[in-house]
Amino acid sequence: MWPRGVFEKLRGEKGMRAGSIEFFRKDGVYVLYRNDQPHYIGKGRLMGRLWAHARKPEDRYYHFWNFFFRLCC
């Protein structure tokens, strides 16, 4: 399980934590969780999809998750 916080910008740095993790640059299947309950299953380029869910308030799932899990590549 990964916290939503990996998509927050680090203080004093240009990028976010997720940008330094290799598997975010690949396609995959993921599950968004609200606490310990699965809320949504998605697939696609992980960085783009999860970043949109985490950082864009207009995203359909923005308000409904705080953890995610990558199922496969």
pLDDT tens digits for 10-35? 666 665 667 667 778 889 999 999 99
Boundaries of domain holding 53? 2-72
Residue 6 or residue 57, greater confidence: 57
**Residue 30, exposed/middle/buried by CB under 10 A (0-12, 13-18, 19+)?**
buried
The CATH number of residue 48's host domain is 3.40.1440
Per the CB < 8 A criterion, the answer to whether 63 and 25 are in contact is: no
Task: Please give the backbone phi and psi of residue 69, each rounded to the nearest 5 degrees, phi first.
Answer: -135, 130
**The pLDDT value given to residue 62:** 92
pLDDT-wise least confident of 8-22, 41-55, 57-71 = 8-22
Residue with token string 């359909």: 60
Per-residue tokens: 53: 């869910």
State the total domains in the chain.
Answer: 1
**The pLDDT value given to residue 67:** 94
Mean pLDDT of 36-48: 92
Residue 5 or residue 66, greater confidence: 66
Read off the amino acid at residue 57.
P
